[in-house]
Copies of this chain bind each other. A is one copy, B any other.
Amino acid sequence: MEMNAVRLIRRGGKKPGLPPGTLIHVGKKKIEKAKITIIDYDEKRFQEKEAKRIEECFPFKDKPTVTWVNIDGVHETDIIEKIGKHFGVHPLVLEDIMNTEQRPKMEDFGEYIFILLKMLYYDDKKDEIVTEQISIIFGTNFVISFQEREGDVFNLVRERIRNGKGRIRKMDSDYLAYALMDSIVDHYFIILEKLSEKIENMEEGLISNPRSETLQTIHKLKREMILLRKSVWPLREVISGLERGESSLIKKATKIYLRDVYDHTIQVIDTIETFRDMVSGMLDIYLSSVSNKMNEVMKVLTIIATIFIPLTFIAGIYGMNFEYMPELGWVWGYLMVWIIVVVIALSMAFYFRRKEWL
C-alpha cells in the first residue's frame, strides 16, 4: 500500500536554509519534456498553436486578446524562469509552481493573481487517488496554467473556446481562469462517485459477514479520505478569497460564476465529511459484528463443554476400579447411568434455551 498522504510532505531536493525563490523542482518528474500550448482568442478571432520554445508566447502578452498559455511539465527551471521574468511574476510564486507539494492557495499580487490547486485522478491500476498540482496565473489579458503532465482535464474548455460555444469567447481572462477551476472541481465529483461505489460495495455483508479484508478496505478508505480532505479543504478559502477579494482583475459578472464553483466546493467538502462519518460508523459496525461473531463461537464452546464435561465425570466415576462399588453389580446400573446422562443433558439444554443461547 503506497502512502500518498505521507508522500505529500517530502520536500525532495530542497535544502533548508536556501534563499527563498530558489527554483528547484520538488516531486516526481511525470513527463519527459515540457509541452507548451498557446491559445489566443477574442469574440471573433481564434488561434491555437504548440510552441517549441517558451519565447514564442511572449509577443501575446501585450495583445488585447485573451491569451492562454498552458505548460505541461513543471520541472524545467529554464522555462519557469523565463516566464517569470517576462510576465513579472514574483520569485516565490515560481518556487511554488515548481514545488509540487504545496497546499492549495490564492495570492493577489495586484497585476496578476496566482492560484494553486490540486487535480485529483483515480488511478484504476493502483486502485488509489493520485494528485497533481495545477497552478494558474492570470492577469488583464492572459492566463498561464501549469500542469505536472499532459492531462485531459482542460480539453472540454479548449473545445468550448474553439467552437465559440457558451459565453467563454465573449468574456475576459478572469472567466477563463474560472472555467479552468470549474473543470477541476467538476472532476472531484468523479472521485466522490468512485468512493461512493467503494463504500457501497463494502457495506454489503458488513453486518452479516464481516471479513478481515473489510478492515483493510476501511483503513484504505480512511487514508484516502484524509488525503482528499487535505487537497480540497483549503480550496474553500481560495475561491471565497477570489469571490470576496477586491481585485479589479475579477469582473462582477464572473463573481456569480465563482459563487457557483464555491457552492460545488462546499458540496464536495460536505460529501467528504459525510463519507468520513459513514466510514468511521462502518468501522464501529465491523468491530461490533466481529465481536458478535466471537460471542457466538463462545456460546457453542460453552454449550458443548458444559453439557459433556459433567457427563464425562459420571462415566469416569463408574470407570473406577474399586473393589467395593455396589452400583457396578446392579442389574439396572448401566441403564441408570444413561438415564442420569439424558436428564442432565436435557436440563442443561433447557437452561440454555431459557438464557436464549440456543
Contact = CB atoms under 8 A, between A and B. Distances in A.
Interface in A328-356: 328-331, 333-334, 337, 356
A99 to B, nearest CB: 10
Contacts of A20: 166, 182, 257, 260
B289 A288 contact: no
A5 B299 contact: no
Interface stretch (A9-17, A40-48, A57-65, A135-143): A9-17
Given A203-B1, A315-B317, A316-B315, A290 B287 contact: no
A262 to B, nearest CB: 10
Contacts of A288: 215, 283, 286-287, 290
Contact of A274 (B156, B226, B278): B226
A79 interface: no
A107 interface: yes
A293 interface: yes
A222 B281 contact: yes
A218 B200 CA distance: 18
A340 to B, nearest CB: 12
Contacts of A271: 8-9
18 contacts: A3-B199, A8-B271, A8-B274, A17-B156, A19-B166, A20-B260, A107-B259, A207-B219, A212-B292, A215-B285, A219-B281, A223-B278, A290-B291, A291-B291, A304-B305, A313-B315, A318-B322, A323-B333
The 10 closest A-B pairs by CB, nearest first: A17-B156, A315-B316, A16-B186, A19-B166, A318-B320, A301-B302, A319-B319, A304-B306, A6-B196, A322-B334
Interface residue tally on A, bucketed by range = 35 or more
A321 interface: yes
A311 interface: yes
Copies in the complex: 5
Interface string A196-239: 10011001000101001001100100110010001000000000
A210 to B, nearest CB: 9
A192 B319 CA distance: 68
Contacts of A192: 9
Interface of A: 1, 3, 5-11, 14-22, 90, 92, 102-103, 105, 107, 153-157, 160, 165-168, 179, 182-183, 186-187, 189-190, 192-193, 196, 199-200, 203, 207, 209, 212, 215-216, 219, 222-223, 226, 230, 256-257, 259-260, 263, 266-267, 270-271, 274-275, 277-278, 281, 283-295, 297-302, 304-306, 308-313, 315-331, 333-334, 337, 356-357
Given A290-B292, A316-B316, 6 more contacts: A9-B189, A10-B196, A293-B295, A301-B302, A305-B305, A319-B321
